[in-house]
Amino acid sequence: MAPTLPLKNGFTKRLHRLAEVLYSLFQQLGAIIKELSCSGMYILDSFPLAVCHNIRISRCKLLRGEVFRGFCASKHQYFYGVKVQVITTAGGIPVECCFIPGSAHDSKAINKLLWDFQTGDRIYDDSGYTCYAFEDIAAAGAGIDILTARKKNTKRKDQPYEAWLKDYYRKQIETAFSQITDLMPKALHAVTTKGFFIKALIFIIVFQSIPLSNIAET
């Protein structure tokens, strides 16, 4: 007799119990992708993930507080939710990620990401991640080059070719973000906050595993 599939309620409870396993799976897949990456170049950036439309903020039960009200500069619009911080390969495959409140500065993600990279790896990010202490102590101590796009008023100015390279590689991640959000529905339906983050992570894992499945087929 074939096993019966669990009902929606039972499936959701099982999925909640697998939250840590799913994140561990994402990390392990990320480690495999890092091993397969020959360039040693990675890109750090974020994209907004709204939990509801702005008109429904007052009725939102999944997240509460002004800390989740953020602004997406690239789209010139406010949103209510979180920022998904992602490090991808140069080809746009996610290898590390974390979630921070929508209003939090991008630099807050620095202490939440694993930074599990090899000596000599280079990570490109934009000026929002500027943290000289991290660049000089943590990253340099591990032999990782953090190539942050510099602001005009920065004390550490780039040469023109350095600025061009940083801008070129950072643009690669925009395509990856578009493809990830295309996989997601217009609204992630969830009853609990934990369920919301689990569903978001699952879509990232699916996008992450597509290149690995293509390799396995060949």
Domains identified in the chain, total number: 1
Q: How far apart are CA 41 and CA 199, in angstroms?
A: 28
Residue 20: inside a domain, yes or no?
A: no
Residue from 216, 180, 218, 208 nearest 48 by CA = 180
Name residues whose C-beta falls within 8 Å of residue 194's C-beta, 6 or more positions apart in sequence: 16, 19
Which pLDDT tens digit goes with each residue over 117-148? Answer: 999 999 998 888 888 888 888 887 888 998 88
Q: Cα-flanking dihedrals φ and ψ of residue 123, to 5°?
A: -125, 120
Residue 138: inside a domain, yes or no?
A: yes
pLDDT > 80? residue 26: yes
DSSP 101-112: ETTS-GGGGGGT
Residue 147: inside a domain, yes or no?
A: yes
Which pLDDT tens digit goes with each residue over 161-202? Answer: 778 877 777 777 878 888 888 888 877 888 899 999 999 999
Range of the domain at 73: 40-205
Q: 150 near 157, Cβ under 8 Å?
A: yes
Which pLDDT tens digit goes with each residue over 87-98? Answer: 999 888 999 999
Residue 23: inside a domain, yes or no?
A: no
